[in-house]
Chain A
Amino acid sequence: MLEIEDLTTTYGPVRAVDRVSLTVEPGAITAVLGANGAGKTTLLRTISGLVRPRSGRIVMQGKVNTRTPAELTVRGGLALVPEGGGVITELTVAENLRLGALWRGDRADRARAMTEVCELFPPLEQRMSRPASTLSGGERQMLAIGRALMSRPRLLLLDEPSLGLAPMITARIMQVLRDLRASTGLTVLLVEQNARSALSIADSGVVLSLGQVVMTAPAEALLTDEALRHAYLGF
């Protein structure tokens, strides 16, 4: 689904992402873990085209995507839910959702996507015409994921979806991701500081430190191997 080779992204002299290589299999949920400043967010922003890499290669579904800008990567089946959700608070809930699918021509299918998102996240349906600024943190995260799903992505990138949310809501969001994978074969690349909750649904984990991949292992192994957990995940 997604292959990254030797990807480097710099901010001035800082190598935020440093020669990262990783492979995401179709239908897999991959967790990218690491401390603050490990380069997780930059990695996602680079993959989605918001930031241009300095070097390396991004191949999505066999197509080289390295320098494709964000407005076009979404057309290639990739959707990003940024840190904090990136919900546009000045727009209503419905407008945020509609925005996610606007680039797709098929009007009937856009309406279907809207219905599906409402079924996934019932709280949104009751708040359709309210400004997104009136939503709670959990609802905003649902809206952000809903907006991403409106574009019917094949690869969903999520940046810290559990940040600042109650454990119950986090669990619910993780459940939705798992269900989506089961029902639509959605591939997920999940960035988390909350390693435990990420690994609970992930197939494999990639640990970043100072921009570099220090470890790639099945989620099971990361969860059970105490030495690994202590060394890289801090729990």
Chain B
Amino acid sequence: MDQFLNLTLNGVASGAVYSALGLSLVIIYRATRVVNFAQPAFALVSAYLAYSINQATGGYWLGFAVALLAGAVMGVLTERLLVRPVRHNELGAIIVTLGLLIVLQAVAGMVWSNEPHSFPYAFDFRGDFSPNSMFVVAAVAVTAIAVLVLFKATPLGLRMRAAAFHADAARMSGVRVGLMLTLGWGIASAVGSLAGMLAVPPFIFPNVLDGVFVYALTAAVIGGLDNPLGTIIGGFVLGVGLSYVSGYLGPELVTLASLAILVIVLAVRPNGLFGKALARSV
């Protein structure tokens, strides 16, 4: 029973990270129909910036704030400079983000070296459900609720949704569609950087987020790629599920299990487990 509880709590903490990174993918996908494969690279560069600030100042939170800001800036610039010019070509946009992922990971390796550096936790990480785990879950929960409220209940969110769903109709209602898409990329990438800050410790190296990204993508697919709430739930479900796999069956099976879930969901419910049902009930 104790083990079950521990596995569940650990799963919730890692699932929170998948949720956050998955959410960042979904916000962008919903607005521009592009899966932003560069998202983990934005998070990685953000985390490296935080690492450098951390080294220079010794404090954690300034780096944390800079990381989120850097994520937003990278998202905005990418949308404006790289994605918008190819916006009529979905495949082109995906290739651009894939290329950006490779370039940014390589650049990060050149600037900060490919060797792992130790990266601090926000809070004490020792113990079963440590203060740091609580912080991870709380930070993601607050962010997720803020994003959902922003979309569902604010005029800005209404504009963003209108721009995403029906650009012409939004324009005719006076919405600056381009600005909304840019803003969406900025918000999404800031959320992605938050996920990175939470997922990176204890060590940072250029490929540190690759695994997390795969799980985040799985979470997004479970939730239905354009369903933020479904993705958040998907992330937590996946985190807990993989934690059980790791605890009861062996950690070497975790990646395989994630892949199996991805394949099964795509085969059985390509729109995601929560895809249509949730979209209708809200």
Write the A90-120 contact mask toward B (1 if CB under 8 angstroms, else 0).
Answer: 1100010011101100000000000000000
Whole-angstrom distance between the Cβ of B282 and the nearest chain A Cβ: 9
> Quick check: B168 and A147 within 8 Å, CB to CB?
no
Select one of B161, B165, B173, B177 contacting A103, CB under 8 A.
Answer: B173
> Quick check: B169 and A88 within 8 Å, CB to CB?
yes
> Quick check: B162 and A69 within 8 Å, CB to CB?
no
Across-interface contacts of A95 in B (CB, < 8 A): 158, 161
A141 at the interface (CB under 8 A from B): no
Write the B269-281 contact mask toward A (1 if CB under 8 angstroms, else 0).
Answer: 0000000000010
The answer to whether A50 and B159 touch (CB under 8 A), given A71-B177, A74-B173, A75-B174, is no
B170 at the interface (CB under 8 A from A): yes
Interface size on A (CB < 8 Å)?
28
> Quick check: B172 and A90 within 8 Å, CB to CB?
no
> Quick check: B176 and A71 within 8 Å, CB to CB?
yes
A48 at the interface (CB under 8 A from B): yes
Interface residues on B, range: 10 to 19
A37 at the interface (CB under 8 A from B): no
> Quick check: B171 and A69 within 8 Å, CB to CB?
yes
Across-interface contacts of B127 in A (CB, < 8 A): none
> Quick check: B165 and A90 within 8 Å, CB to CB?
yes
Measured in the bound complex, the distance between the Cα atoms of B170 and A82 in whole Å is 12
A86 at the interface (CB under 8 A from B): yes
Write the B8-27 contact mask toward A (1 if CB under 8 angstroms, else 0).
Answer: 00000000000000000000
A32 at the interface (CB under 8 A from B): no
Select one of B158, B168, B176, B280 contacting A99, CB under 8 A.
Answer: B158
Measured in the bound complex, the distance between the Cα atoms of B173 and A100 in whole Å is 5
Select one of A82, A91, A98, A131 contacting B172, CB under 8 A.
Answer: A82
Whole-angstrom distance between the Cβ of A189 and the nearest chain B Cβ: 14
Whole-angstrom distance between the Cβ of B159 and the nearest chain A Cβ: 6
Which chain B residues in 113-128 approach chain A with CB under 8 Å?
none
Whole-angstrom distance between the Cβ of B6 and the nearest chain A Cβ: 41
Measured in the bound complex, the distance between the Cα atoms of B177 and A69 in whole Å is 11
Whole-angstrom distance between the Cβ of B27 and the nearest chain A Cβ: 15
> Quick check: A74 and B162 within 8 Å, CB to CB?
no
Measured in the bound complex, the distance between the Cα atoms of B173 and A50 in whole Å is 12
> Quick check: B173 and A91 within 8 Å, CB to CB?
no
> Quick check: A103 and B169 within 8 Å, CB to CB?
no
> Quick check: B171 and A99 within 8 Å, CB to CB?
no
A208 at the interface (CB under 8 A from B): no
Measured in the bound complex, the distance between the Cα atoms of B171 and A79 in whole Å is 11
> Quick check: B168 and A91 within 8 Å, CB to CB?
no
Across-interface contacts of B170 in A (CB, < 8 A): 88, 99
- For B159, B169, B175, the residue with the greatest tally of chain A CB atoms inside 10 Å of its CB is B169
Whole-angstrom distance between the Cβ of B206 and the nearest chain A Cβ: 38
Whole-angstrom distance between the Cβ of A230 and the nearest chain B Cβ: 36
Which residue in chain A gives the minimum CB-CB distance to B166?
A88
Whole-angstrom distance between the Cβ of B168 and the nearest chain A Cβ: 6
Measured in the bound complex, the distance between the Cα atoms of B170 and A69 in whole Å is 12
B155 at the interface (CB under 8 A from A): yes
Measured in the bound complex, the distance between the Cα atoms of B173 and A89 in whole Å is 15
Select one of A49, A90, A102 contacting B173, CB under 8 A.
Answer: A102
> Quick check: B155 and A102 within 8 Å, CB to CB?
yes
Which chain B residues in 141-175 approach chain A with CB under 8 Å?
155, 158-159, 161-162, 165-166, 168-175
> Quick check: A71 and B161 within 8 Å, CB to CB?
no
Across-interface contacts of A147 in B (CB, < 8 A): 173
> Quick check: B171 and A70 within 8 Å, CB to CB?
yes
Measured in the bound complex, the distance between the Cα atoms of B173 and A80 in whole Å is 9
> Quick check: A151 and B173 within 8 Å, CB to CB?
yes
> Quick check: A102 and B175 within 8 Å, CB to CB?
yes
The answer to whether A71 and B171 touch (CB under 8 A), given A91-B161, A98-B158, A102-B158, is yes
**9 nearest A-B residue pairs (beta carbon):** A103-B174, A70-B171, A86-B169, A74-B174, A88-B166, A90-B165, A99-B173, A71-B171, A88-B165
Which residues of A are in contact with B by a Cβ distance under 8 Å? 48-50, 69-72, 74-75, 79-80, 82, 86-91, 95, 98-100, 102-103, 131, 147-148, 151
A to B CB contacts below 8 Å, 23 in the list: A50-B172, A69-B171, A71-B171, A71-B172, A71-B176, A71-B177, A74-B172, A74-B174, A75-B174, A82-B168, A86-B169, A88-B169, A88-B170, A90-B161, A91-B158, A91-B165, A95-B158, A99-B159, A100-B173, A102-B155, A103-B174, A131-B280, A151-B173
Which residues of B are in contact with A by a Cβ distance under 8 Å? 155, 158-159, 161-162, 165-166, 168-177, 280
